[in-house]
Every structure is written in structure tokens, then in C-alpha cells.
Amino acid sequence: MTRYLLKRLGGALLVLLVLSVVIYALFYVAPGDPARLACGERCSPQQVAQVREQLKLTDPVWLQYAHFIQGIFAGRDYSTGTASLHCDAPCLGFSYQNQQQVTQLIMQRLPATASLAFGAMVVWLIIGVGTGLLSALRRGGITERTLTLLTLAGTSTPVFILGLLILMVVCAYLQWLPFPSYVPLTEDPEQWAWNMLLPWFTLGLFESAKYARLTRSSTLETLAEDHIRTFRAYGVGERAVVGKHALRGAVPPVIALNALDVGTVLGGAVLTESLFGIPGIGKTLIDAVKVIDLPVVVGVVLVIGTAVVVANVLADLLYAVADRRVVLQ
């Protein structure tokens, strides 16, 4: 297990290194003036020249990248025009347009995105896995056909359409809930939960469709295996066959997909955050792209990529715990 863990961590570090090179080259080496993009359209030529000097954009490309990596691991100094500011590690850059460190900006938005991601995860696991399991156990019946139709509808409906429908029905027509407005968990836990309810169900229902299909196919595949037939031949009860053996074979793919989805949503569920006005990482990325705030765009993209890589490592570990054959291979 230790060797397997070290191999996965080594692979993840290599991927993160390659990812940082690609992101830096894409945004800072591609044609254009990174100093102008970092400073903003309102900056004077003198301010742009100052930013170019601070980012050391006149150095060779490899040295520029080394300064970028140095900021992440050891911090970096920036000038705000009137004073020098030290950006502590991990320093993802300085937003000259917001006059704020990119790391601080992301950390301020991370709780909102984490609230959305983990709440929606609970919804899509309960609905998706439950629906998929029920479809597999009622194969060929009206229940399976109905659930298959619903999952197909869920898969084909864009998340913003689903969110609009939920808002119109729940808030405007039935008036069961007011239109949601994000409240931080630390300020009022009860209002936080009530206002996150619709975003959780919107994202959870959208994602649950693929979990239902994956769980159904995995369960049916496991139920058709020889050892399941052997258990049934020896008189083992259907509840024990499904609960102890069929589910065990169906869970690993769900674990892998869930970790990947959580990593992606942590990187920013852009449409859901924009639709419900949640001040998360996805909305931050959209706002930064609108005003071409290069350091924020680079920092958010790097965080999104890192979240997906870390989630994949966790998925591999959970997969190995659920199925020991993965480690042996």
C-alpha cells in the first residue's frame, strides 16, 4: 500500500509541475504584453513598466518561471506604488486591479465554493446511487423504465436551465422559499443552510443522473458475476447478496467519479455560482476574465488544476481501499 501511495503522490507532483509550466507559458509567454494584462487597461505606461519590472518580465523565460515558482514556495515582494508588500507563500501573484494578493482573494471565496461542493455531493450521492441501485434491482419493470427516463432527462438538461426551473417553481410559483442569497456559515448557520438549499439541489440533481447510470450498470455487472450466482445457489439471502457483495463491486467506480467531480466543483462551479450569486471561485474567475485581471486568472486556473489532481489522488487511494486488487496490480 505504501509503495502504491508513493507512486501516486510522485505522479501527482509530476503532473502539478507540468501543469504549472503549461499555465505559465499559456498566460505569460504567449503573444501579448503580460505587464499590461496584469496591470489593467487604466494603467499608465509608467505603471505598466513598473509592473514589468516587478514581475521581472525582462528576464529569460526560464528565470521568469523560476520567480513564479519561488513565489509559490517561498513568497515574493510586490510594490503597490506607495509601499512594498510581501506576499507570503503560497503566493499566486498580486492583483494590481484589486490591490490584493491573489491567494487572499481565493481564500476569501473558497468557503462559498466548498459549501456548494460538499452539500451538492451529499445530494448527488444519495439521489444518484439510490436511484441507480433501485433501477438495477427492479430491472425490466416500470420502476426501472421510469428512473431511466428521469436520468436521461437529467443528463440532457443544462445546469442553468435546471436552476432556473427550480427558482421559478420553488421561489416564484410555490413561494416555498425566498430567492437565495449567500450567507457565510460563520455568520448564521441556519440561514446559510436555507440559502444553499436550492444551489445544492440544482447541482446535485444535475450530477446525480450520471451516478444513477453508473451505479445501475456497475450493480448489474456485479450481479451477473459467478460468485454472486454461487452465493445465491448456497441459499444466501438476496439482501445479503446485494448489501455485502453486489454493492462492494459497484462502489469503486462511484468513488473514482465522485472524487473527480468534487475536485472539479471545488475548482469552480461557474454556472451554478453565477446563477445563484454565490461569491465563489468560479464567479471570481468570470469576473477576472471580464476585466482581464491576469494574475487572478492564472491563480484561479492553477487552483482548479491542483484541486482536480489532488481529487484524482484521493480517488486512487479510496479505490485501492475499496478494491485491494488495484494495489496488487
Full pLDDT tens readout for the chain, 329 residues: 778 778 888 888 898 899 889 888 888 877 777 777 777 777 778 878 877 877 777 788 888 888 888 888 888 877 655 667 788 888 888 888 888 889 989 999 889 998 998 899 999 999 888 888 888 888 877 887 887 788 777 777 888 888 889 999 998 888 888 888 888 888 899 999 999 999 999 988 888 888 888 888 888 888 888 888 888 888 888 778 887 777 777 788 888 788 878 877 776 577 888 888 888 888 888 888 888 888 888 898 898 888 888 888 888 887 777 766 666 55
In terms of Cβ atoms closer than 10 Å to its own Cβ (0-12, 13-18, 19+), residue 212 is: buried
* Cis status, amide bond into 184, omega within 30 of 0: no
In terms of Cβ atoms closer than 10 Å to its own Cβ (0-12, 13-18, 19+), residue 221 is: middle
- Give this prediction's pTM: 0.80
Alpha carbon 143 to its chain's center: 32
Residue 198 pLDDT: 92
Please name each of the domains of the chain with its CATH number.
16-102 (no CATH), 109-327 (1.10.3720.10)
Residue 197 pLDDT: 92
Phi first, then psi: what are they for 10, rounded to 5°?
A: -60, -45
Residue 244 pLDDT: 76
Residue 199 pLDDT: 92
